[in-house]
With several copies, the nearest count.
Chain A
Amino acid sequence: MFSKILIANRGEIAARIIRACRELGIPAAAIYSEADRASLHVAMADEAVCVGPAPALESYLDIDKVVGAAKELGCCAIHPGYGFLAENHLFARRCEKEDITFIGPPSDALELVGSKLAARAAVTAVGVPVIPGMSGHGKDAAHFKKEAKAIGYPVLVKAAAGGGGKGMRVVETEKDLAPAVEGAAREAKGAFGDDTIYLEKCIVRPRHVEFQVFADFQGNAVHLFERECSIQRRHQKIVEETPSPALTTELRAEMGEAALKVVEASGYKNAGTVEFLLDPDGNYYFLEVNARIQVEHPITEMVVGVDLVAEQIRVAAGEPLSFEQGDLSQRGHAIECRIYAEDPASGFLPAAGPILLMEEPQGPGIRVDSGVYSGGEVSVHYDPIMAKLIAWGPDREAARRRMSKALGEYPILGIETTVGFLKDVIEHPEFIDGNTHTGFIDEQMADWRPTADDELLATALTAAALYETEPKAVAAAGKEVMSSPWETVGNWEIGSGR
């Protein structure tokens, strides 16, 4: 087993991986940018080094600095988390060269599945259906125009590298194609360092259904069933659940088999996710492989009863999978909501800034994977994901209600977040019925605004007024009192060690 692991990430996933290391008894080393000294993942780690300035390209995405940190701290393995360098095959190759174990697939498999185009070809060859799309790629506007016409509008502009909706755009008519390609390429370049773009047929009202897969170096491979991630905004998943309300036992088995074919065809090892679109008629199409631990991995952990991150580490260390396909089953239902620092009432504008007061929900079946803390700050430099709230219940409705109540006890004051919006998604009649598709948010929630009745408003105003009466009440009692520096914004960042 590894003697020390470097976690080449930040935020909630870095915290998650640090926990896994701790539980395995392996020291966890963190890296951080100059903007992240006060981040939670740094405080949680056993060791930590600064790898550069705030911009990710100069810190978390800088391969030399990350590898340098691993060597400086004597780490024999690197867990890349998701995003940043997680699916960068050059990084994986560099690790292989430096004799540092990259906790993920081999660089060759990463390169293959990382290119959506090469992956399409490989997957088609083993008989797994793919979405009709352009056969090659290019940077020439005329070529895209021709291909789009051949595929038929609407088409989807996608980045060959990366994921998470970055560099992805739906184009309805030819006139919008060129700016969409240009914007997608720019975004992809910024996010993944690669501006390769291609086109795909846009499937109407599909569900996003993905299969968690796991393969070891002994030749064993299993799938850990599906996650449905249809609730998306700008192609970014915001609510995920498992099991999918849309799968029958037969379809689940068939898609699981297809996912394993993809694993085999690509020589994939360690944890990965095979993404499919499922159309309303039950046809599924391979989308891509996410060659990393996913943001939404906790719902699989809760329903299948495994620890995916610990398993990643064990498998990377050369151990065989600790479970076989026959050991695995789904029990109950789990839902995840992603808590973003975004303002859902204003087009989901990012809402960086200080978290004046926060309290995380609790209770049976509730799990919070968080990268932030009350009194901390959401940085403008990185993804707006703050935390993930996961609810498990014996059945879908029990999980859904738990999620709804948990969102109702998740105050995050000072910045706008998606909490109130998510609560309304979870309570939407169509969501309750499981009638979800990737256009759900645009179709059902486009004009969302927070609502509250007059009685609740009166209660809130009373709370505000009572809050303001406080210091006076104390002063009247003859006691020396001031508002705490930690209760007001602006001077909260007073560190004696700066």
Chain B
Amino acid sequence: MDFTYEYNGAERTVSLEKATAGWKVTCDGIEFEATSEKLGPGRFSLMAGVNPYRVFVAEGNGALYVFVAGHQFVFIERGAATGAAGAAGAAIVDGILSVAAPMPGEVVKITVQEAQEVSAGEVVAIVEAMKMEHELTTTVNGVVKAVHAGAGDQVDNAQVLVEIEAAEG
């Protein structure tokens, strides 16, 4: 059985094959035998060779969350919406930078106006969530194409607040 997940933007595949006691695991050239015991909902005692790991797994937001040896991994399931890890922030498509709310919150202020020229690093909006303000900046020089929100608006994660047309060159 092959399982493929997206991790840090790259696809990773792990293969499980039934073995005498447990599974033969192959993953990116690493091979080992593993057994697993359930210790509760989402809790496993995974043994790779003679090395036990206490692992925790939960599913949600289109991803599998795994905690092992002090590290948390987020694996995006194939075909899932990337609500989990692919946080919005700022993305350029067709020369347009969309500055989006990085989390649900309230718009404190939009510091630019349509048609205004902006330079990379300039603050274009301030969003407040969980009692702290967060400044959103443009990563490009350009001109403000559209403003989609105003002070006091409640916005969702990844909601586009300001669009900026990047300057040529």
Question: Can you list, as one digit per residue, whether each of B28-71 has a CB less than 8 Å from chain A (1) or not (0)?
Answer: 10101011111111111111101111111111110011111111
Surface stretch bound by B, among A152-160, A195-203, A464-472: A464-472
Chain B residues within an 8 Å CB radius of A487: 41-42, 58-59
CA distance in complex: A469, B25 (Å): 13
Judging by beta carbons under 8 Å apart, are A43 and B45 in contact?
A: yes
| A484 sits at the interface (CB 8 A) | yes
Chain B residues within an 8 Å CB radius of A462: 14, 16, 23, 25, 27, 34, 46, 48
**Nearest chain-B residue to A470 (Cβ)?**
B38
Asked if A383 meets B130 with Cβ closer than 8 Å, knowing A349-B103, A356-B65, A489-B60, the reply is: yes
CA distance in complex: A349, B88 (Å): 12
**Nearest chain-A residue to B46 (Cβ)?**
A463
| B142 sits at the interface (CB 8 A) | no
CA distance in complex: A496, B81 (Å): 28
Judging by beta carbons under 8 Å apart, are B69 and A463 in contact?
A: no
Chain B residues within an 8 Å CB radius of A465: 1, 3, 14, 16
Interface size of A by Cβ–Cβ distance < 8 Å? 85
| B114 sits at the interface (CB 8 A) | no
CA distance in complex: A463, B52 (Å): 12
CA distance in complex: A293, B54 (Å): 26
| A444 sits at the interface (CB 8 A) | no
**Nearest chain-A residue to B57 (Cβ)?**
A467
Q: Which residues of chain A in 17-75 are interfacial with respect to chain B, using CB atoms and an 8 Å cutoff?
A: 30, 37-38, 40, 42-49, 73
Judging by beta carbons under 8 Å apart, are A497 and B37 in contact?
A: yes
Judging by beta carbons under 8 Å apart, are B44 and A467 in contact?
A: yes
Judging by beta carbons under 8 Å apart, are A413 and B3 in contact?
A: no
* Residue from the set B37, B41, B75 with the largest chain A CB neighbour count within 10 Å: B37
Judging by beta carbons under 8 Å apart, are A484 and B130 in contact?
A: no
**Nearest chain-A residue to B65 (Cβ)?**
A413
Of the candidates A187, A354, A407, A458, the one whose C-beta lies within 8 Å of that of B14 is A458
CA distance in complex: A190, B1 (Å): 48
Judging by beta carbons under 8 Å apart, are B45 and A42 in contact?
A: yes
* Residue from the set A352, A413, A484, A489 with the largest chain B CB neighbour count within 10 Å: A413
Question: Can you list, as one digit per residue, whether each of B64-87 has a CB less than 8 Å from chain A (1) or not (0)?
Answer: 111111111101000000000001
Judging by beta carbons under 8 Å apart, are B36 and A49 in contact?
A: no
B interface bracket (residues with beta carbon within 8 Å of A): 35 or more
Judging by beta carbons under 8 Å apart, are B131 and A191 in contact?
A: yes
* Residue from the set A343, A376, A466, A484 with the largest chain B CB neighbour count within 10 Å: A466
Judging by beta carbons under 8 Å apart, are B52 and A411 in contact?
A: no
| A477 sits at the interface (CB 8 A) | no
| B145 sits at the interface (CB 8 A) | no
| A494 sits at the interface (CB 8 A) | yes
CA distance in complex: A275, B105 (Å): 32
| B120 sits at the interface (CB 8 A) | no
CA distance in complex: A468, B80 (Å): 15
Q: Say how far B6's CB is from chain A's closest CB, in angstroms.
A: 11
Judging by beta carbons under 8 Å apart, are B71 and A420 in contact?
A: yes
Q: Say how far A495's CB is from chain B's closest CB, in angstroms.
A: 5
Question: Can you list, as one digit per residue, whether each of A433-464 has a CB less than 8 Å from chain B (1) or not (0)?
Answer: 00000000000000000101011111111111
Of the candidates B44, B65, B87, the one whose C-beta lies within 8 Å of that of A346 is B87
| B133 sits at the interface (CB 8 A) | yes
Judging by beta carbons under 8 Å apart, are B105 and A380 in contact?
A: yes
Judging by beta carbons under 8 Å apart, are A464 and B39 in contact?
A: no
Chain A residues within an 8 Å CB radius of B71: 420, 450, 452, 456, 460
Supply 23 A–B pairs (Cβ within 8 Å), ascending by A: A30-B52, A40-B39, A48-B47, A187-B133, A346-B102, A350-B132, A356-B42, A356-B60, A359-B43, A359-B56, A381-B130, A411-B56, A413-B67, A450-B72, A461-B12, A461-B66, A462-B34, A464-B14, A466-B23, A467-B59, A470-B38, A488-B59, A496-B36
8 closest pairs, A vs B, by CB? A408-B70, A489-B60, A375-B40, A497-B36, A411-B67, A356-B58, A43-B45, A497-B35
Binding site for A on B (CB under 8 A): 1, 3, 5, 7, 12, 14, 16, 21-23, 25, 27-28, 30, 32, 34-48, 50-61, 64-73, 75, 87, 89, 102-105, 108, 126, 128-134
Known pairs A382-B131, A465-B14; list 17 more (Cβ under 8 Å).
Answer: A42-B47, A350-B130, A373-B39, A373-B40, A409-B54, A458-B27, A459-B46, A461-B75, A463-B46, A463-B66, A464-B5, A464-B64, A465-B1, A466-B46, A492-B38, A496-B23, A497-B34
